[in-house]
Amino acid sequence: MDINEKINLAQAAALLGVTPKTVSVLCSQGYIDRDKNGFVTPARATQGYVLSIKKAGGRADAEYKQVKTMELKNRVAARDGKYQQRANEEAYQLSMEAWTQVSNYLNSLPAMITRDPAERKRITAMNTAFQHKFVAFVNTELRHST
């Protein structure tokens, strides 16, 4: 993704660290320009957010500096072609965090489903095979593509 690529409001919200509702309000207030299909660009979203903070006056300087720093990092990352790498790294981290929860649940399934030791062993083997495939997929698609 580069700074001029079209993204939806949820993606813009994630980029800015705010809720999609906040991005929608900023669009309604004219700080962020949407195209006719409701899409924005990371550049317009960041610039509009910074402008809204400047005009709000009540916001802390630290928040303004954080947004400006993020805008600069995004510009530099896009220029260097590293934006996708950062996105992949973040996606990998989120996948691994979510995977911890899923894995814990899957590991508890055999005891929840049956008391038969042979059936528990069969379910555990299926879970283990799935877990290995999932981790291999995440490592291949996200980790190694960075």
Mean of the per-residue pLDDT values for the chain?
A: 80
Q: What is the pTM of this model?
A: 0.41
Same domain, 62 and 120: no
Same domain, 110 and 58: no
Predicted confidence at residue 79, as pLDDT, reads: 66
Secondary structure (3-state) at 10: helix
Same domain, 90 and 71: no
Sequence-ordered alpha helix ranges (H) in 35-116: 42-56, 61-80, 83-113
Regions of the chain where pLDDT drops below 50: 146
Secondary structure (3-state) at 144: coil
Same domain, 69 and 18: yes
Q: What is the pLDDT of residues 52-72, one digit of tens each?
A: 877 766 555 666 677 777 777
